[in-house]
Amino acid sequence: MKKQREQLLRLLGSAGKKAEQAEVFAVSTEMAPVHFEANRLKQIQSQESTTIALRIFREGKVGFAVGQGAGDVETLVDMAVQTAPFGPRANFEFPSVKDYPRIDVFDAGVPRLTMKQMVELGSELIARVREHTPDLLCDVGVTRGISSVYLVNSRGGEADWEESFFSVTLEGMLVQGTDMLLVGDSESSCRFSSDVSPLAGRVITQLERAKSTAALSPGQMPVIFTPLGVASALLVPLVLAFSGRAVLDGASPLKGRLGEEVFDPKLTLWDDATLSYRLGSCPCDGEGVPSQRIPLVSRGVVANFLYDLLTAALAGKKSTGSGRRMGDRLPAPGISSLVIEEGRGQFEDMVGDIKDGLVVEQLMGGTQGNLLNGDFSGNVLLGYKVERGNITGRVKDTMISGNVYQVLKEIIAIGSEARWVDGIFRVPHLYCPRLSVATKA
Amino acid sequence: MRDRFSRVLSQCSADYAEIRFEQSQTTQISYRGGKLEEVSRSYSSGGNVRALVGGGWGFACFNSLERLSHYVALAVRQAKLAKGEAFELPRREPVVDVVEGRVKKDASGIPLAEKKKLFDEYNSAMLTSPDIQDSRIAYRDVRRRVIFASSEGSYIEQEKPDLTLRLTAIARGNGEIQQAGLSLGSVGDFSAVENLHTAAKEIARRAAALLHAPQVKGGEYTVILDPILGGVFVHEAFGHLSESDYVYQNEPLQQVMVLGKRFGGKHLNIVDDATIPGLRGSYKYDDEGMPAGKTYLIREGVLVGRLHSRETASRMAEEPSGNARAINYLFPPIVRMTNTFIEPGNASFEEMLGEIKEGVYVRDWYGGTSSLEMFTFSAGEAYMIRNGKLAEMLRPVVLTGNVFVTLSNIDAIGSDLDMNQGGGCGKGGQSPLPVSNGSPHIRIRHCLVGGG
């Protein structure tokens, strides 16, 4: 670690000789996934990787290079220098912050976890779910990981922290003739948990609700999105639209609508990078701007957009600490954890309220349409028909289409129990009055 | 390198072990908001060891070769812990070979300034239409060299260049946003993305026109797919189901996917072929060192083959097909498609169209995905068909269906096979893998269509 730190400081120093400002961002990750296929232990892996990103301001422009694995300091500096003449104008300064509020994102229990324990955990999960449905074929992944992050810039800014990661994923398949039922869910956070019951319970509920199939007639009908349904159908367009970059480019439908009531007044939504043990949390973003909670929608009104340093400077705003690093790209505005505030609705009451309708648990291909406009459309991979206040079975050959801004303009109820989906979305159930549903005759 | 790898592998106690080591250099250029957003360069080097002990796999990847024997030992330990049901890897003669990338106009050798000049021109071409609010260009070229060494004595070095370009024009009007795009790719050949000025103008015109286009009424239609979308269809709807890692441990699915079973009409032939020169899914050896192959999946409407890794072939007692691929050294190889297509038939577009009273003609792609039985994909461009003629332009549409029913609903196959090189495939967290898809124009009865 110390050796690597010295190398990074040498890189910063070397870059500093050829640039007005320089910034080095390094992440070292150790991951250990255990995979089960078709109920059987299949593969145990370990992955180590280190990525170093160098960003410089040279003759007023941003140069950028990324290195993974063996390569010397000068190669990276040369590559960044080569790109600088073509880069965007350097219109901001790197923050000189050194002290950040403490955010808990490391659980010492995660690195202590042995491969054997992970194998046992996966086996237990499969056994629990198959106790309910013996013929189910489960693919299970149990993964632990730790990352250490180091950020340093030529203006004296410096941040460094450790993150842990633990996730359990189950995908189950039940084949009967040419009919395939797919169920599944996952759980991930920075913290180790030896309790697989909540995950097993959710999958068993899916199996229970999908026991029989029910025919649905096409048309407009009320729809309940479960938390998984909300995440698979509605959130990706919103994530894109709240990016300050999309707003600046005019590619967001929310451009020019700050302060306007665009959504149902029941809807409140925020981004929060300060939550303890959440995958999106960190003391600062990928540029050294301290993390914060950013209201995005307050009682239906558009409250803020997300900014990194460069976009903020272009838009005449302040960075919201949302400069996220993805792969070998420059930081760009992005979410940390997206949270929809819980409402007062109970799932049972929502179902009880519907004469003819649909519960959407998993939408397939929800993100393949014109996302920028908020359009979504896809196959209901897992969904249930509601008849006279009861779930009567799983639907097949069913497709829903809609627009996020229309759907979230009028919500009948928001569920009172939110849960984490994919480790970065905290979402409750949403009950919408009407959505267009197409089915096969 | 060869000596070192073979020495380490010969000392290892696994039933089988392999080392993959790769080095790559990437250049990315992106435009957004009507201007150049980012130019970046990156390098990467790293490798992995995969070991097999008694049917279980261990896999350890690393950035530095310094402690290679440590990672070999780690992979063996993991494999012992994972121990599954034993199987014999299919025997093949060890291969020693060096495969150089043969590229007409090597993208990695072209100066940044020249690339920027060309993309500036495309960007301006898209922005000439007054309704265009935003233009985006995403370009990436990669030069990659992969070394493969196995305990069976194979040692293969392969050059694997790749290149992709996507142009997107975004129109805005009446508070709505519409987009149209173009995706292209090549095996590192820059000439594949040259001379697109007219195409760039055309996508801008289409994005603007979409602002005034109506939405399709959801329901069942007869649809005609263009070669690009036909390719996405064959990849999503059938290709994934042919990947044996989904099938080999799933007995009920094996009953469904039994060789010899009829899936479509006599005119239907579906092929996966990694041996066609110059396509993004092509290679000489896969990531298990197996020679690339051409596999008929469906011949005259009947299921005749599937895609295999060495393990799935052994466990299903079929021949290995050379389809084990990994996107990079961080991942183990899994069963993947290469260049997948529907072979040409003899129907003409006019004939297909002429027989449709009300239907939808769909072109180009936004995306697509499948869950084995069910598939869904979206068209970037769509037109109503009324009384045998193309009618009004529609907003993007999404098509969905059940593969078993849909393949038998293909009732006409054109003669105009075309391969699309702009796609990438995702599976098991490994995305995007370079593949290509293709088809002639095809007509499908009773397809479920929803508005995008």
Chain A residues 115-144 with CB within 8 Å of chain B:
115-116, 119, 135, 137
Contacts of A90 in chain B (CB under 8 A): none
Q: Where are the domains of chain B?
A: 2-210, 219-451
Q: Quick one: CA torsion of A89, A95, A100, A101, rounded to 10 degrees?
A: -60
**A33, two tokens:** 């996934």
> Which domains does chain A carry?
2-205 (3.30.2290.10), 212-441 (no CATH)
Taking Cα atoms as reference points, which of A28, A31, A47 lies closest to residue A143? Answer: A31
Residue to substitute from A136, A183, A397, A399, interface B, most B β-carbons within 10 A: A399
User: Residue B369: its pLDDT value, please?
Assistant: 83
Contacts of B64 in chain A (CB under 8 A): 69-70
pLDDT over threshold 60, residue A203: yes
As a whole number, mean pLDDT of residues B179-206 equals 96
**B314, two tokens:** 């052994």
Give yes or no for a contact between A394 and A258, defined as CB atoms under 8 angstroms apart: no
Share of chain A above pLDDT 70, in %: 100
User: Residue B85: its pLDDT value, please?
Assistant: 86
Distances (CA, A) of A201 to A127, A128, A185: 12, 9, 10
Predicted model pTM: 0.94
Instruction: Collect all residues with Cβ–Cβ distance below 8 Å to B180 and sequence separation of at least 6.
Output: B168, B169, B171, B203, B204, B206, B207, B210, B380, B381
Rounded CA separation B296/B261 (Å): 14
User: Residue A70: its pLDDT value, please?
Assistant: 74
Judge if the upstream peptide bond of residue B130 is cis by omega within 30 degrees of 0.
no
pLDDT over threshold 70, residue B452: no
User: Residue A3: its pLDDT value, please?
Assistant: 79
pLDDT digits (tens, 9 = 90+) for A399-415: 999 999 999 999 999 99
As a whole number, mean pLDDT of residues B177-204 equals 96
Instruction: Collect all residues with Cβ–Cβ distance below 8 Å to B373 and sequence separation of at least 6.
Output: A178, A179, A180, B241, B402, B403, B404
State which amino acid sits at residue B284: K
Q: Predicted confidence band at A247 (pLDDT cuts at 50, 70, 90)?
A: very high
Q: Quickly count: other Cβ atoms within 10 Å of residue A56's Cβ.
A: 27
State whether residue B402 sits within 8 Å of chain A by CB: yes
State whether residue B448 sits within 8 Å of chain A by CB: yes
Give yes or no for a contact between A256 and A391, defined as CB atoms under 8 angstroms apart: no
Helix ranges, B213-328 (H) = 227-233, 244-247, 251-256, 310-315
State whether residue B116 sits within 8 Å of chain A by CB: yes
Which CATH number is correct for B2-210, 3.30.1540.20, 3.90.1150.10, 3.30.2290.10, 3.40.50.2300? 3.30.2290.10
User: Residue B102: its pLDDT value, please?
Assistant: 80
User: Residue A125: its pLDDT value, please?
Assistant: 98
Choose the closest CB to B112 out of A64, A82, A375: A82
Contacts of A238 in chain B (CB under 8 A): none
A175 to B29: CB separation less than 8 angstroms, yes or no = no
State whether residue A253 sits within 8 Å of chain B by CB: yes
pLDDT digits (tens, 9 = 90+) for A75-96: 999 999 999 999 999 999 999 9
ipTM score here?
A: 0.91
